[in-house]
Structure 1
């Protein structure tokens, strides 16, 4: 039935629209509204780089048939074009009509050239001569100087020239803006009326463009930006050295097929047509914008201005007393399983565990998976220290983590130089599982300790992503983690596991079996309910299982941040399913599965995997049960609170639209704020 599934890319676009709505919400602090505007811009970049480029490739192939959602790739692309143009128009209208005027009220202003004073103009002229001109490479086009390669998402200036001494009196030059230059510059305070006054780099170049083309008349100059296909293809069956191959392939991401053209709204049609022809961009992929084409570069602004009253209040994540640096983390884990929920609770205990392991003479082995770590990772430094101290350190580095490939190559080289064993995981499958295992000698025996998480070992992310982490020395769980690491290093088949479940295939099999059990319980009149919190749901087999559960009377509550192809609320088919999305201050990232299990003890799992085909079929993922009843109760309470949110929650309708949840008479209930108040110290 075509009408029972939503389209993947259109569903992802709906998530991006919810992010944009956070920027539109006047209750969001002003500088945070700007951040959400920039995050929307960054999300849309990736949407075009990966999703739209992939759809275009399918549409241009011989297999562009109708999908299970009833849409052909061509139809989907038409719908995407219509919606994205509308959203981008809203984005810039919000920037110009709301965000910028309100920033001015708080002493923060971006000055157009028409408002520069003589003193400011003089200072900017000097800045251009000193900081910009020496590294610019203006290229005037002619038969010997063809159109230069413009890098993916790079700011460029197209210059309209008039030279009566040439046959083509109207001709064009291209000025790529070097990536090393800041995209906006702060003017000296003594030259300003406001405390913070900035000028866009494109305006500085525009004001001084005649210095680059002094011998001809400059009719105008206009910023533009090209988004390119950034999906890397590496044939893993043919690659002998993945790191070397990736290093060779990464530059191609900068110059892939052009997918989208953004250009200044005031750019003449003749110039726009020239750019469209050059990049083979149709009107469907042309975006004329009233503002900076590289809007996401404004994301740096909130950290540059001292305006705490128009930002979210700061907070200090809590650290349990028994997990501080003065305590032995191994002893704490021996006293019982430990659950941490970031960013409300600190990631520091995980770092401290590795720090103590690196220095502990009784620790023999440390094994860890790394998907994203961030630059200058403390965890990587500690793993290097452990290797240099003689520990057997093995790190599974996922080189194919999208957009982190270069950083992960550098991480792998750093670890190898310190003496760690670096493995790149399973051939043909990304290693997305979040696992840390430490082997320690205690009382003449070897004992394992593990950390299993729903998020990456990236300290920056742990401040802005919501993720669970479990610390345990349970024998069955630690044995299962050992088996998974053995699989990753030996390239073996899926091992037999006692408590954990793994992808490929194992997590989806477990999930569907638990759904079928809930169906059986419902049919027998026993309590039956399912709650799943994930980033994405698009596995057709799992969607179909949840439809069967709904028809059997099972209560299904889904908290899905982004993609959801399931249609809830179809009478007699999916009317026992509720799908909500929570988009707030923190990026919801934890994956949790809860099954009521009739009259028996309920089951609750934490997973690194979303309920999407790529996670369930093509990645190494782990899913672990929470065994401790008190910890299970804590997570269930968290899920219940997410289901009560009336501040940042949206309900998915049967037609694919999302409706904002409206607060009742008691006022809005904001789950993230409640969790902050429960766990963290708010500034």
Structure 2
């Protein structure tokens, strides 16, 4: 055989494949993702109230970014870390660059609010009224509302030796008030803090008598206009809102505690008072007040964000419901309601004939709920085993497990208590399950259990039979209408036996199980993906077509990226559909010129993980709970399951990969320097938006604009 690689005329990079210049910074890439979210808020093809929701989503994303990512960099610097990532940046350099980009992004966010969204909403009769423009009727209503609903729950705190600066909760709304005069005790306190209780709504809808259209006022305006009631006899000279973001990581030494649930429950309240990482103030706040707050919270100017509006735009999410304007939202849709079976026998009989594939949210999550609730009622079912990462304590999934345990079935649930920001929910549902006798465990010490599995053990005439559900998404009926995910119900004996082996490994101790079809992290998954990429590389070097299409939320693992670079140099055609963080650089001559990276953002949050390898004439297709990141490969329990049924594999390929590659309206192409350019259809091309096409194809709903 000829040496194909030696004859390849394409330029080859002289850089080693681990050179820092071949990797983007992870945190900056995450901010790039949030820029694409901002673009949706600016996109006039998107319904107006949905644009406002995207702006609120951006605020939520940035809150978590500071609570986790920025807080982590600050901790590294505090501990004197000199560790660099694949990009070669020291923590100090990363923090400086991240802060500069975050300032630019947030300035653009408020510019979008003030110059685009608020005027557009006003044209639709939805107004956020400024205090200076209130009518007499509006001001009277606000005064009455303040007296009835707000004043009783406020506790103003003057600052003096007997009243130290109060503890400020993470992301709570606060007001710095400057005062003149003396009180009845002869005290002169030039400064006070007012904290807005979390029970108070931040956005208040006025009644119809207050004017035509739909009128809103911010809680900050309500308190500002009545702040004199909080300090009778004194003169209020300034009223300035501020918000502090804190480090929200929880630390529990799992090897040193006897009960992880109790330890986490005790740690949760501390999240509200972690180390400060960001101060937000209105841009009208005077310099002396800003400096006072910075000194108190021990923050630098780079940690200060002076914003042209409310300090928490995440609360704008409530407006979509309060406004009651369905014409300004995405049209409702009804997921495909096809069910695997209505009776226990028909359900399990159908799964014995062939697996059932579910593509959420286009197809209903109800079959997954029915699978578990049917198993809970079926007298032939002996046991149910389930992993739970994110759900809600009132979920029908949890109800089914409780019903099964109450009926005397063996119910084992692996609850991931450390799912970030869902710890309280998971503690609650774990306690609820334990009360009815379910066996609840918390996975493996040091590893998060992120795999999505449910297993039913059933006695049949032929003996014990196993039935399973696996998926890329959480057992969360609410997000199943908002996130795109792939799930599969199956009676494949090798897959279900693998699932049972994994459950036994999670609840007990022992060596790594030898799996038949599933891939598991942290043991086989990383090596299997590397091997699949190497196989495509070898095919290309032998002059055969090499093909990789992979879809995920994040791509950051260096060894995988190096192997992708090597595959590209060998001629493998690689398409990566990465919704969020991607530190690989596509399109670099001699390095990644055969790699394309795209991102699709839209009505639904893209959450499916699907990996396709051409493998000559025998393609391999996997669905997984794992992204291609260090934490998923090495610090979590994950699974990937194969789609071997020919018809279902064709569906997964077409619906989750090809349809996205063909998108020319809502897809973004990553450039070699890290920016993204939104695709535009050619002059004679129809607009093809993946989510819209799938809505029409799988649900029969008409696609929304764009």
Within the candidate set 165, 182, 185, 2:201 is matched to 182
1:95 pairs, out of 92, 113, 119, with 113
Could you list the runs of 5+ residues in structure 1 that have no partner in the other structure?
none
Query: Which residue of structure 1 aligns with residue 532 of structure 2?
Result: 514
Q: Residues 105 and 65 of structure 1: is their aligned pair in 2 closer, same or farther, counting only changes over 3 Å?
A: same
Any conservation in 2 of the 1:426–1:491 contact (CA below 8 Å)?
A: no
Contact 2:159 2:189 survives alignment (8 Å): no
Q: Counterparts of 2:415 and 2:262 in 1: how far apart (Å)?
A: 14
Counterpart in 1 of 2:102? 84
Does 2:314 match 1:296? yes
**What is the SS of the residue equivalent to 1:355?**
helix
Instruction: Please state how far the C-alpha of 1:164 moved relative to its aligned partner.
Output: 5.9
Match for residue 635 of structure 1 among 652, 662, 669 = 652
Counterpart position of 2:191: 172
Match of 1:228 in 2: 246
Name which of structure 1's ranges 300-309 and 367-376 shifts more when overlaid on structure 2: 300-309
Describe how 1:262-281 pairs up with structure 2 within 5 A: 262-281=280-299
Matched, 1:348 2:366: yes
Secondary structure, counterpart of 1:316 in structure 2: coil
Once residues 148 and 92 of structure 1 are traced to their aligned partners in structure 2, the CA distance between those partners, rounded to angstroms, is 29
In the alignment, structure 1 residue 501 sits paired with structure 2 residue 534: no
What per-residue deviation string (whole Å, max 9, x for no partner) do you get for residues 487-535 of structure 1? 0000333211011000003111110001111111111122210010000
> Could you list the runs of 5+ residues in structure 2 that have no partner in the other structure?
1-18
Correspondence for 1:543 among 561, 565, 574: 561
1:147 matched to 2:171: no
Report which stretch shifted further, 523-532 or 465-474.
523-532
Indicate the residue corresponding to 1:674 in structure 2. 693
Indicate the SS of the match to 1:542: helix
Structure 2 residue matching 1:457: 3-state secondary structure: coil
What residue number does 2:354 align with?
A: 336
Aligned equivalent of 1:448, options 466, 471, 490:
466
C-alpha separation in 2, matches of 1:343 and 1:224: 38
Q: CA deviation at 1:63?
A: 2.1
TM alignment of 1:651-670, pairs within 5 A: 651-665=669-683, 666-670=685-689
Structure 1 counterpart of 2:387, from 351, 369, 376: 369
Instruction: Tell me the equivalent position of 2:235.
Output: 217
Shift of 1:444: 4.8
Is the 1:325–1:352 Cα contact (8 Å) retained in structure 2? no
2:623 aligned to which of 590, 606, 619: 606
Map 1:233-272; keep pairs closer than 5 Å: 233-272=251-290
SS of the aligned residue for 2:46 comes to: coil
Matched position secondary structure for 1:267: coil
Between the aligned partners of 2:374 and 2:109, the Cα distance in structure 1 is 48
Normalised TM-score (structure 1): 0.98
Offset at residue 321 of structure 1 (A)? 5.4
> Which residues of 2 match residues 459-478 of structure 1 at below 5 A?
459-478=477-496
- SS at 2:35 equivalent: helix
The answer to whether residue 627 in structure 2 is matched with residue 584 in structure 1 is no
CA apart distance, 1:560? 0.5
Q: Deviations over 1:294-350 (max 9, x none)?
A: 110110111222212211111000022544579832122122011100001110000
Q: State how far apart, in whole Å, the 2-side matches of 1:325 and 1:661 are.
A: 47
CA–CA distance in structure 2, aligned partners of residues 68 and 191 of structure 1: 58
C-alpha distance 190-327 of structure 1, shift in aligned 2 (>3 A): farther
Shift of the alpha carbon at 1:84?
Answer: 1.0
Aligned-pair CA distance for 1:64: 2.4
Give, in whole Å, the separation in 1 of the partners of 2:510 and 2:576: 34
Task: Determine if the alignment matches structure 1 residue 533 to structure 2 residue 570.
Answer: no
Which position in structure 1 is the counterpart of 2:211? Answer: 192
> 1:682 is paired with a residue of what secondary structure?
coil
> How big is the shift at 1:168?
9.5
1:188 & 1:159 partners in 2: Cα distance?
29
> Partners in 1 of 2:345 and 2:495 — Cα distance?
24
Shift in Å, 1:375: 4.2
Worse-matched range after superposition: 313-322 or 627-636: 313-322
Q: 1:167 to 1:83 in 2, by over 3 A?
A: farther
- Root mean square deviation, CA, Å: 1.5
Provide the C-alpha distance between the structure 2 equivalents of 1:162 and 1:111, rounded to a whole number of angstroms.
29
SS at the partner of 2:390? coil
Displacement of 1:651: 1.2
The Cα of 1:17 is off from its aligned counterpart by 0.9
Shift of 1:175: 0.6
Q: Distance in 1 between matches of 2:176 and 2:344?
A: 60
1:367 is displaced (CA, Å) by 0.5
CA 1:571–1:25: 2 relative to 1, 3 Å: same
Q: Does 1:417 align with 2:435?
A: yes
Aligned length: 681
**Which residue, out of 55, 65, 87, partners 2:73?**
55
Q: Is contact 1:329–1:352 with CA below 8 Å preserved after alignment? A: no
Please say if residues 427 and 491 of structure 1, whose CA atoms lie closer than 8 Å, have aligned partners that are also in contact: no
**Matches of 2:78 and 2:243 in 1, distance apart?**
24
Is residue 365–residue 440 contact of structure 1 (8 Å, CA) maintained in 2? yes
Q: Quick one: distance in 1 between partners of 2:224 and 2:127? A: 19
Partner of 1:386: 404
Contact 1:313 1:682 in 2 (8 A): no
Q: Offset of 1:118 from its aligned partner?
A: 1.3
Matched, 1:29 2:41: no
Aligned equivalents of 2:411, 2:693: Cα separation in 1 = 39
Distance 1:444 1:499 in 2: 23
Q: Please say if residues 339 and 367 of structure 2, whose CA atoms lie closer than 8 Å, have aligned partners that are also in contact.
A: no
Cα offsets for 1:576-597 (capped at 9, x unmatched): 1111111111100000000000
